[in-house]
Amino acid sequence: GAVVSQHPSRVICKSGTSVKIECRSLDFQATTMFWYRQFPKQSLMLMATSNEGSKATYEQGVEKDKFLINHASLTLSTLTVTSAHPEDSSFYICSAHLAVGADTQYFGPGTRLTVL
Amino acid sequence: EDKVVQSPLSLVVHEGDTVTLNCSYEVTNFRSLLWYKQEKKAPTFLFMLTSSGIEKKSGRLSSILDKKELFSILNITATQTGDSAVYLCAVRLEYGNKLVFGAGTILRVKS
């Protein structure tokens, strides 16, 4: 149990385009999902907390107009990187909070974004 | 500012060795401490610790928390090449379920 999927696993796009990444909790409902960013050889940096049915809470320094988050259902959150630039190239990981049992976050497999 | 510090940053050992990874923290509202293993993709959950002095064990891995001294250790005995990974320590804050991650320890086990 507690499986989280992400799609796509890898995306290459041109500068200026927008990219949408989906995060799904497959066998549980998650009222809260989190989006992280990880640069090579660095740890996970929380970008935003996504709550079902309400606006996301962004961490300091993260542009909410650039990284659009939608959490339309209890099993799906999306992150859209708008007008992507090469510096947005990174590994994006989502997690979903399972409130029962282990009461912890389970991570998706991540999405490798490369902006040319 | 909430902070999680892991040491060492990297470690190379031989198969069969025992390793100890360290995690210290300074946070405003502590709820629990978690250990994750990250190979090429996303982190996989190892342990969650909430109380001091109670060892959590899973096979060759074990972990313990000291809430007075604000640190945790992760032990791996009889290491195998499959243990090679980045080990991440994270502290869960009391409100909002937010996790603050350390930089990780890169472990490489040589055969």
Q: Which residues of A touch B (CB under 8 A)?
A: 6, 32, 34, 41-46, 49, 57, 93, 95, 97, 102-110
Q: Which amino acid is at A5?
A: S
**pLDDT at position B105:** 96
Q: Which residues of B touch A (CB under 8 A)?
A: 32, 34, 36, 41-45, 48, 88, 92, 96-104, 106
Q: Do A49 and B98 touch (CB under 8 A)?
A: yes
Collect contacts of A5-8 with beta carbons under 8 A, ≥24 apart.
A5/A108, A5/A109, A6/A93, A6/A94, A6/A108, A6/A109, A6/A110, A6/A111, A6/B42, A7/A111, A8/A111
Q: Do B102 and A106 touch (CB under 8 A)?
A: no
Q: What number is the average pLDDT over the span A54-70?
A: 92
pLDDT band at A59 (very low <50, low <70, confident <90, very high): very high
pLDDT band at A1 (very low <50, low <70, confident <90, very high): low
% of residues, chain B, pLDDT over 90: 84
Residue A115 pLDDT > 70: yes
* A8 preceded by a cis bond (ω within 30 of 0): yes
A13: number of Cβ within 10 Å? 16
Q: Do B42 and A108 touch (CB under 8 A)?
A: yes
Question: Helix, strand, coil: what percent of chain A each, to 5?
Answer: 5, 55, 45
**Which regions in chain B score pLDDT beneath 70?**
none
B104 → closest Cβ in A43, A49, A97: A43
Residue with tokens 């990874």: B21
Structure tokens, A95: 């997690």
pLDDT band at A87 (very low <50, low <70, confident <90, very high): very high
Averaged pLDDT of chain A: 90
- Give the nearest chain A residue to B10 (CA atoms): A41
B88 → closest Cβ in A43, A46, A57: A43
Triad A100, A46, B19: Cα angle to 5°? 75
Residue A105 pLDDT > 80: yes
SS3 call for A88: helix
Tens of pLDDT along A7-48? 999 999 999 999 999 999 998 888 889 999 998 878 889 999
**pLDDT at position A4:** 92
What are φ and ψ of residue B81, in 5° steps?
A: -60, -30
B7: number of Cβ within 10 Å? 14
Tens of pLDDT along B22-51? 999 999 889 999 999 998 778 888 999 999
